[in-house]
Amino acid sequence: MITSNTAYRDGGGIFAIGSTITILHFFLYVDRNNAMSNGGGIYLQESSKVQIFKEWHEYTYEECIVMLHIGNNAAHFGHGGGIYVDDSTEINGTCRGGITNKLTKNVFSECFLQTLNLYDLTHYDDTIFVNTFLTNNTAFKFGSNVYGGLLDRCTLNPFAEFYTASNGLEYFRSTVELSSDLSVASDPVEVSLCNGSENSSVIIRGGVLKVNVMAVDQVGNPVNATIRSSVISKSGVGCLKEGQTEQRIGNQCTEIEYNVFAQDIAAQVELYADGPCANLGKSTQSISIIFLPCTCPVGFQQTNDTIECICDCDPDLQQHQISECSHDQETVRLETNIWIGVDISTTLNMTSYIVSDCPFDYCVEKPFDVVLGNQNEIDRQCDYNRSGVLCGECKEGLSLVLGTSTCLECSNLFLALLIPFAVLGVALVAFILLLNITIATGTIHGLIFYANIVAANRALFLPRDTSTF
């Protein structure tokens, strides 16, 4: 029994560095110990482990039961009230020195807590009953009973007297009396995809890959973590945008972005949490990427970059002093009073441009951004509701206003003006006949002269008039 001890730092009951604690007994009690930092009951560092051995003799059924009791211990300002296993300093420990099989995603090693048969005795079909209790342990941070140890990764020593269905965590869940779901915890050991994120994606080279990820500890609890990432490709030529190889996430699903650059037609982005397992075994999350062919919008041409899809201004447009292009917006900027049309030949897979000075006042004022791949966008170059080549037409459903460049919608209301104008016409003829006005007398010339005087000075005589003559 190890009881009622206090450590002013780590390991209230047992503190081990690179050691194996051997107990020649049927039971081990670690009870009512305190640590100011980590491991109220037991602190294990650098691949240390605790082994409980049995001396040989004929067992009875009751003697096959091993009692391991770790209770009433406290880590007052750290992790692991019962047991703290420092995985971060392991060199030949659970993940770093284990056997890694990338295909099956398994990592094997000895467990940090074992019950062994000193003389390889077999009894009751090789079954030894091990009752392990971790109760009433407390930790100021995480892992009230156990912190670290990576129980989900370890397989038991082949000479151990107890076995599990799949892994050490399965054993702990079936034999440890846990006080809560958070009683077993660890540093981040795995990255999980969440919120519909998939293990494959299709993007262009240099395009944005968005994934929702969460880092979890050895029992699947979400934890804060630093996610480290890299691009793996056949040629080895690939990378992520600066600042994306290391990203910090909280203890929940978090969307992170990657701009993936690669020379090959396919690549992988590998992610892992910065922790004791690093990128070994199942700790690594892999996302397969197929790169789309680089296609540039109308008005652009692909550059010679081999790892990124970059589109720049089409050289055929640069001769017309067009050099400012936005690939993201797919727009080219017109600086001078020009009009651009596009002829796309689907049979020859060619694009030709019609570029000319815009006549009269048909085009909008410059500078102006236009999307050349859209006919409606091309018509946005035109002013006064005009459209077509060099804006020589009105938009559909509109008509030209006489004496102007403006196109407006025709209205039947103007038919109502025919009656008053007809009456005025009859009145004008009667007026001419009544006054006997003739061209010879010069009266008509006089009226025209004064009308021209008024028109020339309409800003003075008709200050509200905005019509165009």
Mean pLDDT by 10 residues, the chain (469 residues): 90 88 74 93 84 58 63 90 76 42 42 57 47 81 86 61 46 54 81 86 93 89 92 93 94 93 94 86 88 90 89 85 82 89 72 88 90 84 90 89 84 69 78 64 65 64 48
> Is position 469 within any domain?
no
* 31 in the same domain as 147: yes
**Whose structure tokens read 């958070």?**
182
> Is position 449 within any domain?
yes
* 211 in the same domain as 285: yes
> Is position 468 within any domain?
no
> Is position 21 within any domain?
yes
Kindly report the pTM of this predicted structure: 0.67
* 439 in the same domain as 305: no
- Token pair, residue 192, equals 């999980």
* 55 in the same domain as 177: yes
Q: Can you give the pLDDT at residue 19?
A: 83
Total domain count, the chain: 4
Residue 66 sits at φ, ψ, to 5 deg, of -100, 130
* 437 in the same domain as 310: no
Residue at a domain's end among 164, 185, 206: 185
For 315, the enclosing helix (H) or strand (E) is helix 315-318
- Based on its alpha-carbon atoms, the radius of gyration of the chain, rounded to whole angstroms, reads 42
* Domain extent for 73: 2-185
> Is position 244 within any domain?
yes
> Is position 10 within any domain?
yes
Residue at a domain's end among 157, 185, 213: 185
* 140 in the same domain as 6: yes
Q: Can you give the pLDDT at residue 18?
A: 82
The count of C-alpha atoms lying within 13 angstroms of the C-alpha of 57, restricted to the half-sphere facing its C-beta, is 7
* 350 in the same domain as 402: yes
> Is position 379 within any domain?
yes
Residue 334 sits at φ, ψ, to 5 deg, of -95, 120
* 152 in the same domain as 19: yes
* 430 in the same domain as 360: no
> Is position 96 within any domain?
yes
* 272 in the same domain as 257: yes
* 229 in the same domain as 269: yes
Helix, strand, coil percentages in the chain from 3-state DSSP, rounded to 5: 15, 35, 50
Across 358-415, the runs of DSSP E, i.e. the strands, are: 368-370, 386-387, 393-394, 399-400, 407-408
Q: How far apart, in whole angstroms, are the C-alpha atoms of residue 115 and residue 25? A: 10
Residue at a domain's end among 257, 291, 325: 291
* 90 in the same domain as 179: yes
User: Which CATH number belongs to the domain containing residue 196 in this structure?
Assistant: 2.60.40.1930
Q: Please report, as a single letter, which amino acid is at residue 454.
A: V
